[in-house]
């Protein structure tokens, strides 16, 4: 039987955003942000539709001008996912956005224009029943906090977030999500870890201004994997230069690799080297094509090496260890059949179907449903460990 990892999740309260619930034991939702001028209704809606097709679950638009606020109701009417309004500098744009049926507003407390204006936004959001994200950014931290700490360090960012949380709480407002973003990976990791020790509001995570892919994806993965593995994070965005649609696949890949959300089979293949004795690239390409659209959280290993292959294949749910045109298929660590290279793809897909049936019969099949897996018991989820709770595998 495979080793069961014990995950922990930062215990956060739940905040409803449209038809989604952020925080608690809910999935880590994937979001992105549009690039056209928001008042260009056709372009903005068209891009959100492309994001929806890619799997985006929350869309954010910027609202710097009155003409941007004016089209929010129509944007909301034309899309299927929750709509967030991004506000910088002008608190009046936050007040204007709140007159529309949006699902959340995001403000930057470092540039919103002072505590009184922040309170006005809080009061109207509370009256409208609208959640808010407090977006602390290292690049726009309040001057007095920068002077106090010497530079925009994690303690300064967390102090800023806690200050604005306390103001909101004094107004009786608690529908809040927090982000602590920086373009520096170490700052991101340290800020979220420090915050998680002091507050229970859910977090939106990301490395801001990450740059151009592929480096920006690697940078984001380096910054977000440590905190995801700590159980921190309730929504996620991968910030890429240019078209935002590739952000969605990158986010889901990071969630899949860290086992925070597993939405499809994971296909593992060994690197090509001089020991390879089968057409591994061809076999993997066929498997990718024929597994497309499948939602089962099954780990499949395809190894073309007789050195590490058998051991690695045993570690997966299903695996092939092959050499010299033939191989063996492992299921749950045991050999179940011998196959020739020409039959490997069909044979492995047959075993996937059988594996799904067996798991379903046992009630342990994990699929792409947006829920917490029942793999962990309620006791596991409630037992605190150093201020955290054990987290089961999230699928969906």
**Using one digit for the tens of pLDDT, what is the confidence trace for 198-257?**
999 999 999 987 788 999 999 999 999 999 999 999 999 999 999 999 999 999 999 999
pLDDT of residue 368: 59
Average pLDDT over the chain, rounded to an integer: 86
pLDDT of residue 319: 84
Q: Using DSSP bridges, classify how beta strands 104-107 and 83-87 pair: parallel, antiparallel or unpaired.
A: parallel
pLDDT of residue 305: 65
Domain with CATH 3.20.20.20 in the chain: 7-257
**Distance in angstroms (rounded) separating the CA atoms of residues 223 and 395:** 22
pLDDT of residue 171: 95
Q: Where are the alpha helices (DSSP H) in the chain?
A: 41-54, 66-70, 72-78, 91-97, 115-128, 143-149, 154-170, 185-196, 215-229, 245-257, 280-291, 309-315, 344-362, 378-382
CATH fold of 7-257, please? TIM Barrel (3.20.20)
pLDDT of residue 97: 95
What number of H helices and E strands is found in the chain? 14, 20
**Using one digit for the tens of pLDDT, what is the confidence trace for 3-55?**
566 778 889 999 999 999 999 999 999 999 999 999 999 999 999 999 999 99
pLDDT of residue 249: 94
pLDDT of residue 374: 30
- Short-list 55, 87, 60, 90, CA closest to 75: 60
**Using one digit for the tens of pLDDT, what is the confidence trace for 99-118?**
999 999 999 877 887 889 99
Q: Which residue has the higher pLDDT, 362 or 80?
A: 80
**Distance in angstroms (rounded) separating the CA atoms of residues 391 and 381:** 6
**Mean pLDDT to the nearest integer, 329-352:** 88
For residue 283, what are the CA distances in angstroms to 28, 58, 216, 263, 333? 32, 36, 30, 22, 21
**Using one digit for the tens of pLDDT, what is the confidence trace for 189-204?**
999 999 999 999 999 9
**Distance in angstroms (rounded) separating the CA atoms of residues 65 and 192:** 31
The number of C-alpha atoms within 13 Å of 232 and in the hemisphere containing its C-beta is 27
CATH 3.40.50.1360 fits 266-362, yes or no: no
pLDDT of residue 393: 38
Domain with CATH 3.30.413.10 in the chain: 266-362
pLDDT at 394 over 60: no
| CB proximity list for 254: less than 8 A, separation 6 or greater | 220, 221, 224, 225, 228, 236, 238
135 membership: H or E segment, kind and range: strand 132-137
**Using one digit for the tens of pLDDT, what is the confidence trace for 157-176?**
999 999 999 999 999 999 99
**Distance in angstroms (rounded) separating the CA atoms of residues 321 and 307:** 9
């Amino acid at each position: 039987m495979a080793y069961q990892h014990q995950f922990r999740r930062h215990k956060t309260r739940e905040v409803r955003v449209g038809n989604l619930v952020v925080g608690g034991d809910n999935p880590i939702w994937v979001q992105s942000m549009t690039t056209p001028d928001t008042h260009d209704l056709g372009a903005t809606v068209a891009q959100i539709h492309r994001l929806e097709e890619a799997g985006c679950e929350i869309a954010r638009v910027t609202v710097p001008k009155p003409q941007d606020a004016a089209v929010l109701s129509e944007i909301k009417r034309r899309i299927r996912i929750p709509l967030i309004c991004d506000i910088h500098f002008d608190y009046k744009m936050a007040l204007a956005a709140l007159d529309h049926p949006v699902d959340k507003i995001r403000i930057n407390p470092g540039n919103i224009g002072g505590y009184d204006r922040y309170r006005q936004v809080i009061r109207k959001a509370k009256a409208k029943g609208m959640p808010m994200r407090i977006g602390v950014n290292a690049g726009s931290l309040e001057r007095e906090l920068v002077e106090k700490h010497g530079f925009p360090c994690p303690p300064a960012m967390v102090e800023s977030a806690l200050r604005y949380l306390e103001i909101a709480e004094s107004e009786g407002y608690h529908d809040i999500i927090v982000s602590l973003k920086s373009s520096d990976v170490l700052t991101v990791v340290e800020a979220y870890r420090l915050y998680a020790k002091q507050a229970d509001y859910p977090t939106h995570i990301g490395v801001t201004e990450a740059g151009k892919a592929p480096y920006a994806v690697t940078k984001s993965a380096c910054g977000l994997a440590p905190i995801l593995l700590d159980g921190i994070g309730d929504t996620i965005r991968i910030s890429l230069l240019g078209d935002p649609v590739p952000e969605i696949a990158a986010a889901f890949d990071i969630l899949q690799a860290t086992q925070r959300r597993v939405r499809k089979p994971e296909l593992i293949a060994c690197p090509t080297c001089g020991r390879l004795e089968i057409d591994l690239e061809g076999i993997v390409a066929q498997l990718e094509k024929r597994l497309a659209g499948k939602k089962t959280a099954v780990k499949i290993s395809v190894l073309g090496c007789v050195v590490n292959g058998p051991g690695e294949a045993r570690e997966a749910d299903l695996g092939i260890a092959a050499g010299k045109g033939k191989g063996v298929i492992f299921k749950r660590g045991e050999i179940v059949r011998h196959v020739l290279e020409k039959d490997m793809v069909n044979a492995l897909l047959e075993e996937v179907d059988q594996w799904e049936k067996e798991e379903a019969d046992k009630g342990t099949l994990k699929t792409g449903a947006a829920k917490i897996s029942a793999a962990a018991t309620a006791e596991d989820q409630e037992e605190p460990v150093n201020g955290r709770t054990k987290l089961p595998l999230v699928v969906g």
